[in-house]
Amino acid sequence: MNQLELIGKVATEFLRRQLQNSKSEEGIARFLLDRLTADQVTNICKEISRDMLLFSTMAIKVPRKLVEGVGLPSEMVTDEKTTYWRNASCDKPAILLANTNDDQGQSLRDITRVGAGDLKSQPDIWVQVASSDLPLTDEQKRHWQQALKGLQEANECSLEEFSEFTVKVRETIAENGIPVVRAIGWALPALRIPRDSYYFDAIPENALGHSSRWKKLFTDAYNKRACYLYKQHPNRQIIENSEIQASYEKVKSQIDPSVQPIMELFIESNVSWSIAADNLSELEWEMDKVNLLFFELKPMKVNLAEKTLQLYDDEFPDTLTDVENLYLDNLNELFKKKKRRKLQRKIKIFTISTVITLTQTKC
Amino acid sequence: MWVDEAIWGHRLYNEQTPWLCFMEFLNVLQAELDEGRAFLEDIPNNLAYVPKSRLHLRNILFNNPQLPVIARTYSNDDKEAWSKWQEAIIKGQSGIDNADFAYLEKRFPKFEHFVSVVQFLRETTIEGENNKRWSSQFIFPYGPNCLYEDLNVKENKSPTNDRRFFGRTGEMLYLMLVRSGRGPQLLVNFQESVLNKKNKFNRLVASLEPKDSMNSSTARLGVYLPYLELPEYQELAGDWLSLLESNIPKYDVIPHLVNIMGLHMIIYSLNRAKDVLEDDTKLTFVLEIVSPKKTIVRELSSDSFTEHNNMSRRAVEAYIRNVEQTEEWEKVTDLSEATSLLALKYEWPQENGIDSANSPEDLINKFISAAINRHKQHVDKFHGTWGKEIGLASRRGARRLRYAPQDMLLKSLVLCVVPKRMEFQDFLDKLYEKYGFIIGDKQALELTEAGRADLEAFSDNARRLEQRLASMGLLRRLSDACAYVENPFGIQEEV
Amino acid sequence: MQIRMNANGKLVIEVKLSASVATVDLPLQLVRYEFLSRVAEGALPGSFSRECYEDILGFKSKLLKRLEERRTIDEEESENDSDLSFRIIRLNPDGLIDDRIVEVNFDE
């Protein structure tokens, strides 16, 4: 199942439930696929037509313009405007419409809208559909649901991205039989977050049913890890290629040769999303040591003294007095000294902790 | 070195805000008008103009801290007030040889009138109260006597043009308008407003200068705009004429001229980068109309901003790498030939040189490094700084800078683009066509079809724009499906 | 300046700058009326949308435009005026209007 097919199935189930709930009401139940793409609408229509029962109760009339050349049966396609079908009679108790770009402003009282947001807001349907034929317990399904809820609260993603993510979770469970929590971490690249199968292990077992926990981890992943795929620090400062290159050189020896080409391609690529970033996102954050690449990188603290000297050199040569030059030189030295001291402290800590680890292992 | 200049001209300067660019432009225009050469260019890039220094005026307005104290102390004795004030200003002034301010007493029958006038004019300072040096403060351009160039005025030294805030972006603006071919039309409009010396406020400002004041400014030369013809020049001139010829009161139109000009300069700078990168796709900006909560559109507008912010740097690198593709480079056999070639084409390396390179390839890498370092000083920041200044980019409601237009810019766009009234969807189309703005779902098709965003995210974005415009009195909703953007100063009759 | 009913039966504030130029009208709806009353009293609750404020700015611009027209038609901007006089109107810290005339003797 691909992400469009999943959307089709989810929408179908959504409509099925809506019909169930409105069984007692009078008149024709009208639904509108609101501002969905042609592909999405097509998949939904095809899926409904596969469900005999639903198809028998629901007529479909989507604008020809929207689904031109896709091969939907002609009874599903209409040349009339959406406003016509708002009131027109119909031989089935329910009717499904869709709008195109042009007629979105129409007043839609008495029509139930089914838009991207409406579909995304039903994580239970997504899990129900995506987990069909998967060996999952009810509890695991619930965890998955809460994860999806937490994701939505952390960040808005498009319908297709959301669907893609769910598809990937399903795929890896189906193919590799791994637990839901690990599968969710595995599928992160679909959200443009680096893969980390063990990421959600941080949620204690008894808290997996709380969407707030998932939300927190998703938020952190977006804010503190996804940015690196775009070659930016968490504060959005650009990371220069030379910086990553230097960092890479330091840790290269610890990186498996098979993934080195992927990293190298990424390092050379441009800032912002690229295929290289895509490929990098599919490496495991910890296991493939992607984190090492970014570990040492810190956004640059501006050396004001150096920058001031540079400015005067470039723009106003020979205008600084001796006193001013001396002041700036001293400031520059102080900055460099502070930087050196910080590095020395880091090395010290690293050395000490290494010694402790070694002594501990000895014992 | 000559890299940024070859691509963008000499020069785009981030510390010169759009308003100061406009002021520099007016100085150029007035100076050339005085010589009978307004908007004329015989030989490309040969501009040499003499702006005014007006040091009496500026000392009175901006280097005059004693005025309020003297006014209070001698409020009942005009003669004493004038005498004490003249003593103080002669002592405290800078930049004028043999300073004499006696002419003022005859012009202002009462000292308190003089004080009121000074106070009034100070309140029209461009960009309001700011921390710049007094010789970089400018008043509103009521007329030619309000125009003067940015100077560095130090005690006991001659004033110099240190290009601190008039960094030549205004001179480039002037050349762009000259080359648009619509100079004469623009001139007619300007002569009715900012270049009209008979305007009452202009005459008031003129009254603060002595009749025969010395101009200490000399000819300014050296501006360089590489391209003789560009569609951007036409677009800019066209937009200015739309604004000038609409019904907006003459002085009220100026902030809008500044905003629209800023937008065109940003587009110019990005398009030149795209040219070097050989990217001929249409330049587009994803705009988020600020929403209370985080949406996909915010992400995308952030990405759009970041991508543009880095474009110029990539262009610099690509420009230098292009050298390696040339025939001349292929013929180079050793390091010294490489060095000569680069020095000839790019004025780099300089005599005092850099750490020695190992090979021609290494030299190129060092060159790129040096060029990017230089680029980061100013031109690299142009897009971000000007984007914020004109209200195109902001951090409102979020940590990241992104394209989130502010009300002032939206108003300028309506006044510029809408003849009198225009259907809202047509307005969105027009903004896309003219400036590459992606706001509604129709313009966002590429993004939605790639699955990056849902259509409804963008139609919600457009809805928010409708609401913003309505709250500014610029949009009228006639029914569910019908909304019209209205320009209260539009002149076109309804179709 | 007066408040009257226009041809459509709606109340407007009408400003006529001179016999030679058309009037400038500000239609008075309930909200606008209340807005202006509140401003006159010196206090405006934050619940008033910006729309009212923008409306008044628009009205001001129209008035300025009309003033420009009047000056051209009535040839007011006499170029031989050697007397420059200005009326400077300010709000003092107490919210009261400070209106003073300033005169300059300047003949170019």
pLDDT per residue as tens digits for the range B345-376:
888 887 655 567 788 888 888 899 899 999 99
Residue A298 above 80 pLDDT?
A: no
Q: Record the tokens describing residue C56, joined without a space.
A: 């008044």
> Would you call A35 and B451 a contact, using CB atoms and an 8 Å cutoff?
no
Q: Looking at residue B494, what is its pLDDT?
A: 45
- Mutual orientation of helices B424-435 and B407-417 as an angle, nearest 10°? 90
B48: alpha, beta or left, given left = phi > 0 and alpha = psi -120 to 50?
A: beta
Nearest-Cα distance to chain B for C6, in Å, is: 20
In angstroms, rounded to a whole number, what is the distance separating the alpha carbons of residues B179 and B427? Answer: 29
Q: Looking at residue B233, what is its pLDDT?
A: 97
User: What percentage of residues in chain B have a pLDDT greater than 90?
Assistant: 72
Region B234-245 average pLDDT: 96
Q: Looking at residue A284, what is its pLDDT?
A: 93
User: What percentage of residues in chain A have a pLDDT greater than 70?
Assistant: 89
Residue A12 above 50 pLDDT?
A: yes
Q: Looking at residue A204, what is its pLDDT?
A: 92
Say if strands A29-34 and A94-98 run parallel, antiparallel, or are unpaired.
Answer: parallel
CB A199 within 8 A of CB A186: no
pLDDT digits (tens, 9 = 90+) for B98-155: 889 999 999 998 999 999 999 999 999 998 878 889 999 999 999 999 999 999 998 8
In angstroms, rounded to a whole number, what is the distance separating the alpha carbons of residues B66 and B92? Answer: 9
Residue B166 above 60 pLDDT?
A: yes
Nearest CA in chain A to B481: A105
Which residues are CB-neighbours of B375 under 8 A, at least 6 positions away?
B3, B4, B312, B313, B316
pLDDT digits (tens, 9 = 90+) for C58-97: 888 888 888 888 887 776 655 556 678 888 888 888 878 8
> Would you call B200 and C77 a contact, using CB atoms and an 8 Å cutoff?
yes
* Higher-scoring residue by pLDDT: B450, B186: B186
In angstroms, rounded to a whole number, what is the distance separating the alpha carbons of residues B170 and B278? Answer: 28
In a mutagenesis test of the B interface, which of C71, C100, C104 is the best target, namely the one with the most B β-carbons within 10 Å?
A: C104
> Would you call B451 and A107 a contact, using CB atoms and an 8 Å cutoff?
no
Which residues are CB-neighbours of A161 under 8 A, at least 6 positions away?
A190, A191, B451, B452
**DSSP state string for B251-313:** TTTHHHHHHHHHHHHHHHHHHHHHHHTT--SPP-EE-PPP-SS--HHHHHHHHHHHHHHHHHH
CB A287 within 8 A of CB A270: no
> Would you call A35 and B441 a contact, using CB atoms and an 8 Å cutoff?
yes
Q: Which of B283, B284, B285, B288 is nearest to B457 (CA)?
A: B288
By the CB < 8 Å criterion, does C100 face chain B?
yes
In angstroms, rounded to a whole number, what is the distance separating the alpha carbons of residues C81 and B416? Answer: 36
In angstroms, rounded to a whole number, what is the distance separating the alpha carbons of residues A102 and B69? Answer: 67
> Would you call B482 and A160 a contact, using CB atoms and an 8 Å cutoff?
no
Q: Looking at residue B462, what is its pLDDT?
A: 95
Dihedral Cα C59, C61, C66, C68, nearest 10 deg: 160
Region B229-248 average pLDDT: 95
Q: Looking at residue A212, what is its pLDDT?
A: 94
Q: Which of B171, B130, B439 is nearest to B285 (CA)?
A: B439
Which pLDDT band holds residue B340 (cuts at 50, 70, 90)?
A: confident
User: What percentage of residues in chain A have a pLDDT greater than 90?
Assistant: 46
- Measured at the alpha carbon of residue A82, what is the angle toward residues A78 and A83, in degrees to the nearest 5? 130
Q: What is the number of CB-based contacts under 8 A between chain B and chain C?
A: 66
pLDDT digits (tens, 9 = 90+) for A184-196: 999 999 999 999 9
Nearest-Cα distance to chain B for A10, in Å, is: 16
CA-CA-CA-CA torsion sign (B251, B252, B256, B262): positive
* Higher-scoring residue by pLDDT: C73, B271: B271
Q: Looking at residue A102, what is its pLDDT?
A: 62
Give, rounded to a whole angstrom, the gap between the first and last alpha carbons of chain C.
36
| Chain A residues close to B457, C-beta within 8 Å | 116, 156, 158
> Would you call B455 and A36 a contact, using CB atoms and an 8 Å cutoff?
yes
Average of per-residue pLDDT values in chain B: 91
Query: Which class for B35: exposed (0-12), middle (13-18), buried (19 or more C-beta within 10 A)?
Result: exposed
Q: Looking at residue A149, what is its pLDDT?
A: 95
Region B324-353 average pLDDT: 82
Nearest-Cα distance to chain A for B276, in Å, is: 16
* Higher-scoring residue by pLDDT: A268, A146: A146
Residue B419 above 60 pLDDT?
A: yes
Q: Which of residues 2-61 of C touch B (CB under 8 A)?
A: 49-51, 54-55, 58, 61
Q: Looking at residue A355, what is its pLDDT?
A: 60
Q: Looking at residue C78, what is its pLDDT?
A: 55
Q: Do chains A and C touch (3 or more CB pairs under 8 A)?
A: no
Q: Record the tokens describing residue B265, joined without a space.
A: 């300069």
Is the preceding peptide bond at B11 cis, omega within 30 degrees of 0?
yes
Which pLDDT band holds residue B493 (cuts at 50, 70, 90)?
A: low
pLDDT digits (tens, 9 = 90+) for A66-109: 888 878 888 888 888 877 887 788 888 899 999 876 665 566 66
Please, which residues bridge with residue C91 across strands? C97
Which pLDDT band holds residue A362 (cuts at 50, 70, 90)?
A: very low
> Would you call C61 and B200 a contact, using CB atoms and an 8 Å cutoff?
no
Nearest CA in chain B to A159: B454
Nearest CA in chain B to A39: B449
Which pLDDT band holds residue A273 (cuts at 50, 70, 90)?
A: confident
Nearest-Cα distance to chain A for B271, in Å, is: 18
* Higher-scoring residue by pLDDT: A302, A285: A285
Nearest CA in chain A to B446: A37
Q: Looking at residue B214, what is its pLDDT?
A: 84
Nearest-Cα distance to chain B for A180, in Å, is: 25
Q: Which of residues 282-321 of B touch A (CB under 8 A)?
A: 294-296, 299, 303, 306-307, 310, 314
> Would you call C65 and B247 a contact, using CB atoms and an 8 Å cutoff?
yes
Q: Which of B140, B108, B109 is nearest to B20 (CA)?
A: B140
CB B361 within 8 A of CB B338: no
Q: Does the predicted model carry a pTM greater than 0.80? A: yes
* Residues in chain C, total: 108
Residue A352 above 80 pLDDT?
A: no
Residue A363 above 50 pLDDT?
A: no
Nearest CA in chain A to B452: A158
Range ranked top by mean pLDDT from A78-87, B311-320, B332-341: B311-320
Q: Which of B359, B439, B453, B388 is nearest to B17 (CA)?
A: B388
Average of per-residue pLDDT values in chain A: 86
Q: Looking at residue B495, what is its pLDDT?
A: 40
| Chain B residues close to A310, C-beta within 8 Å | 377
Selecting from B116, B203, B252 the residue whose C-beta is nearest the C-beta of C106 gives B203
CB A300 within 8 A of CB A240: no
Which pLDDT band holds residue A13 (cuts at 50, 70, 90)?
A: very high
Average of per-residue pLDDT values in chain C: 82
Chains that touch A (3 or more CB pairs under 8 A): B
> Would you call A35 and B454 a contact, using CB atoms and an 8 Å cutoff?
yes
Q: Looking at residue B487, what is its pLDDT?
A: 93
Nearest CA in chain A to B440: A101
**Mean pLDDT lowest among B169-178, B185-194, B236-245, B469-478:** B469-478
pLDDT digits (tens, 9 = 90+) for B373-396: 999 999 999 999 999 999 999 988
Which residues are CB-neighbours of B218 under 8 A, at least 6 positions away?
B50
pLDDT digits (tens, 9 = 90+) for A129-184: 999 989 899 999 999 999 999 999 999 999 999 999 999 999 999 999 899 999 99
Selecting from B117, B471, B473 the residue whose C-beta is nearest the C-beta of C58 gives B473
Q: Looking at residue A215, what is its pLDDT?
A: 95
